[in-house]
Homo-oligomer: A and B are copies of this chain.
Amino acid sequence: MELDKENTLKILLATDNHLGYLERDPIRGNDSIVTFEEILMLANLHEADFVLLGGDLFHENQPSRKTLYSTMELLRKHCMGDRPCSLEFLSNADTVFTNTKFPLANYMSPNYNISMPVFSIHGNHDDPAGNGAKSAMDILSVAGLVNYFGQAHSIESIEVFPVLLQKGKTKLALYGLGHVKDERLHRAFLKGRVKLQRPEEDMESWFNIFVLHQNRRKHGPTNYIPEQFLADFLDLVVWGHEHDCLIDPTPHETHRFYLTQPGSSIATSLAEGEAIKKHVALVEINERQFRFTKIPLQTVRVFIFNSIKLKDSRLNPSREDQIETYLAEKVEGLIQMAQEELRSNEKAPPLPLIRLKVDYSGGYSQINSIRFGQRFVNQVANPKETLMFHRQRQTYSVQWRLWGAGRRLSGVVVGGRSGGSGGGSEGPAE
């Protein structure tokens, strides 16, 4: 597909940058910032018309001065300047930039010289909170550095007004909804109280993007947003919050839209999904068509994840020395894998993240992960939490007798404990 430049609107897509994550870690402290700069540089390299972020730009709800400063420094460096921004802004800015005395896109302001605007919703990590209910995104917004949109002001009835942008013949309606408690949003959807307000004129001529920041995986009956809740007229859904990079746009089974889940640009847990190679994407929209190009991130710290069962080793559970040697060999193997990956990518920081998840069921005991990690201090970025022990969940059939009730209930009890030692978080921390 050859796209004529003047009618092609280019968006650099990224999410969950978690700026400031582990900022005090002597090894990993700058990772989030370094990769965010890579993303902004990629956006400029590909001459993106704008950057679209899907929330959790900041890891902490109240970012430190250092992180806030670094973020603003990068945005000022890479998003201001003389590259002309040729986007026409067609929406009523009051409807999309709410809760600000400066309701206009930064690149439309006569007081800022913006070369590449950033549009962003908030995530659960950087949602409005505290005295005055301000978000760190509001700080970036009042500084003219980010166009913060997608704030729902009532959960009873959510009206989403799109940012309407035009470049040549291409017209984009960009809908955004910052993080809201999943259960409440789920309920609002069920009650038909989430309305995407489509532009009345030439309704069918717009390319429609919706960006949201919610659980996509089912964490409970209503603790997620089923994809099919989303309006059928959408063309592309950008799902933030989920950190696994599942960025390839997949057509929905029943709805018209494609769905992309860019995933985080930094691993904020040592879960398996975070080890998927991290990407951002360039979306090129030409009238009602789009082209999607995934771009691997070079500066992300290499993360190798593996899981084993001690049972498979056939070692004697009482020979802790042998078990430790066995685990050390496994970890060394993972380090070698990381080193191979590092050889093909000199921009990645030199020390990899290594996580070996060890199922110790079968009479084995855990070994001290912190002491174990000491031998890898100069080889991995996370020596203290390289190992993570868990036992397979076992289910038992049991019978409960309700004393005094005179009837039997049957149920299931989860036996054994999953996870535990290792110091590191393994569960999702999106």
Pairwise interchain contact B69-A132, C-beta atoms closer than 8 A: yes
A295 in the interface, Cβ–Cβ < 8 Å? Answer: no
Give bound CA distance, A132 to B138, whole Å.
Answer: 23
Instruction: Mark each residue of chain A from 37 to 79: 1 if its CB lies under 8 Å from any CB of chain B, else 0.
Output: 0000000000000000000000000101110111011001100
Pairwise interchain contact A142-B110, C-beta atoms closer than 8 A: no
A101 in the interface, Cβ–Cβ < 8 Å? Answer: yes
Give the residue name and chain of the B residue nearest to A140 (CB): B143
Which residues of B sit under 8 angstroms from A136, Cβ to Cβ? 65
Pairwise interchain contact A139-B66, C-beta atoms closer than 8 A: no
Give bound CA distance, A191 to B424, whole Å.
Answer: 52
Which residues of B sit under 8 angstroms from A23, Cβ to Cβ? 131
Pairwise interchain contact A138-B69, C-beta atoms closer than 8 A: yes
Pairwise interchain contact A110-B111, C-beta atoms closer than 8 A: no
Pairwise interchain contact B65-A139, C-beta atoms closer than 8 A: yes
Size bracket of the A interface: 20 to 34
A134: which of B69, B111, B131, B145 is its contact (CB, 8 Å)?
Answer: B69
A102 in the interface, Cβ–Cβ < 8 Å? Answer: yes
Which residues of B sit under 8 angstroms from A68, Cβ to Cβ? 139
A81 in the interface, Cβ–Cβ < 8 Å? Answer: yes
Pairwise interchain contact A102-B76, C-beta atoms closer than 8 A: yes
Which residues of B sit under 8 angstroms from A32, Cβ to Cβ? none
Which residues of B sit under 8 angstroms from A69, Cβ to Cβ? 132, 134, 138-139, 142
Pairwise interchain contact A65-B142, C-beta atoms closer than 8 A: no
A72: which of B70, B77, B130, B139 is its contact (CB, 8 Å)?
Answer: B139
List which A60-109 residues lie within 8 A (CB) of chain B. Answer: 62, 64-66, 68-70, 72-73, 76-77, 80-82, 101-102
Which residues of B sit under 8 angstroms from A112, Cβ to Cβ? 111-113
Pairwise interchain contact B134-A110, C-beta atoms closer than 8 A: no
Which residues of B sit under 8 angstroms from A73, Cβ to Cβ? 101-102, 142
Distance to closest chain B CB from A360 (angstroms): 38
A24 in the interface, Cβ–Cβ < 8 Å? Answer: yes
Pairwise interchain contact A64-B131, C-beta atoms closer than 8 A: yes
Give bound CA distance, A69 to B65, whole Å.
Answer: 14
A143: which of B65, B77, B102, B143 is its contact (CB, 8 Å)?
Answer: B143
Distance to closest chain B CB from A137 (angstroms): 10
Pairwise interchain contact A72-B142, C-beta atoms closer than 8 A: yes
List which A1-36 residues lie within 8 A (CB) of chain B. Answer: 23-24
A144 in the interface, Cβ–Cβ < 8 Å? Answer: yes
Pairwise interchain contact A132-B76, C-beta atoms closer than 8 A: no
Which residues of B sit under 8 angstroms from A111, Cβ to Cβ? 76, 80-81, 112-113
A214 in the interface, Cβ–Cβ < 8 Å? Answer: no
Give bound CA distance, A77 to B102, whole Å.
Answer: 9
A135 in the interface, Cβ–Cβ < 8 Å? Answer: yes
Among A24, A65, A76, A102, max chain B CB count under 10 A is at A65
Pairwise interchain contact A82-B66, C-beta atoms closer than 8 A: no
A144: which of B70, B76, B139 is its contact (CB, 8 Å)?
Answer: B76
On whether A131 and B76 interact (CB within 8 A), knowing A68-B139, A81-B111, the answer reads: no
Give the residue name and chain of the B residue nearest to A129 (CB): B65
Instruction: Mark each residue of chain A from 304 to 326: 1 if its CB lies under 8 Å from any CB of chain B, else 0.
Output: 00000000000000000000000
Distance to closest chain B CB from A149 (angstroms): 17
- Please name the 5 residue pairs, one residue from A and one from B, whose CB atoms are nearest each other, closest first: A66-B132, A143-B143, A65-B134, A111-B113, A80-B111
Known contacts A65-B134, A81-B111, A112-B112, then 7 further A-B pairs from the complex at CB < 8 Å, ordered by chain A residue: A62-B64, A64-B131, A65-B132, A66-B134, A69-B139, A73-B102, A110-B113
